[in-house]
Amino acid sequence: MVRVTWSAPGKVIICGEHFVVYGGLAVAAAIDKRAYSTVSLRDDRIVRIGSKQIGTAEWLDGKLVKESSKGVGDRLEAYRKMVEALLEKYGRRKGVSVTVDSQIPRASGLGSSAAIAVATAGALLDALSADFTTDDVVNASLVAESELHYRPSGIDPTVSALGGVIRFRRGSKPQRIEPQKAFELLVIESGRPRRTGEMVRKVAQFRELHINLFDKLMEVSDMVAEEVELAIQNNRIERLGSLMTVCHNLLRAIGVSSRELDEVIDRALRAGAYGAKLTGGGGGGAVIAVASEEVTRQLISRHSDRYTFHRVVLPQEGARREKAEGKEGQPG
């Protein structure tokens, strides 16, 4: 039996989320928490998708025939569509089993759904012995992301597939940003789930009402993103922090922050962090901060009863094959 496992990382957006949907510049990075997906080729026509965090569902010819509990099929439907699109594209008339296990906190703005899609697409293409590229993995992942999120820019699966720190603009080839040495971000979960679709719609409404203002804010965001890139390249961490705070204030201006996120950021800044911002869709989810070792330890010590902290060293590797059984050769 052919069985292949791939993994893909979650992500943080360091600058430019939401503006990136409308062609703005963004900087994003892969993090060290990963999603794992194991694909096994079946002899029947069943497509079975199981998640250790959600449950299991089975489909036959596109129709849900079994689920471990009510609603699981709906929650996994986006991945089913991606899997079946790939099976059809590569002419496979039999089914597959997919088993997913993710370390990435869900509804946190850390790219859990994109990492699952990237890992699953990579594993399935590998299992099918397809001749494929990173772009093929990203494009396949966007089938799932388009089902899960309103107007995805593509930044999440792109940085998950590529890894590292990247400069991203919709419609352009992403470029790697190479820091002189590794650096650390502090990821702080606010405790309130992120609401990406709702926030994207909210920004669309803001832009419709204030198109000239939005365009000016996007120009400023692009300028800040350029400076963020330079700060990362030159390991100017204090400058990076101050720029991240500017990014957050731009996101507040278009209405995607929340009381909970602002509270986390205020606590980080009052403790002496160089800077902090929301990351991802907003409305909830996670905050990223840059701080000295002393301030990082103080924040964790003082607030670990209130928030969940993750110390993340950048850059990190992108999607990769973890294991392959029953086939020869390496993925394309």
Give catalytic residue positions.
156
- Name the residue among 146, 94, 154, 118 with its Cα closest to residue 36: 118
Handedness of CA 209, 146, 13, 133 (dihedral sign): negative
Give, in order, the Cα–Cα distances in Å from 39 to each of 94, 148, 235.
Answer: 13, 21, 39
Its sign, for the CA torsion 24, 29, 34, 38, is positive
The Cα–Cα gap between 103 and 303 comes to 22
Q: Are 190 and 261 contacting, i.e. CB atoms less than 8 angstroms apart?
A: yes
Rounded to whole angstroms, the maximal C-alpha distance in the chain is 60
> Is the separation of the CB atoms in 12 and 31 below 8 Å?
yes
Size (the chain), residues: 332
Please state, in angstroms and rounded to a whole number, the distance separating the CA atoms of residues 176 and 156: 15
Cβ(154)–Cβ(4) below 8 Å:
no
Token pair, residue 156, equals 């999440």
Spatial contact of 35 and 101, defined as CB atoms under 8 Å apart: yes
Cα angle for residues 272, 245, 184 (degrees, 5° grid): 65
CA angle 127-130-136, nearest 5°?
A: 105
CB contact set of 228 (below 8 Å; sequence gap of 6+): 14, 15, 27, 240, 243, 244, 247
Distance CA 258, CA 280 (A): 13
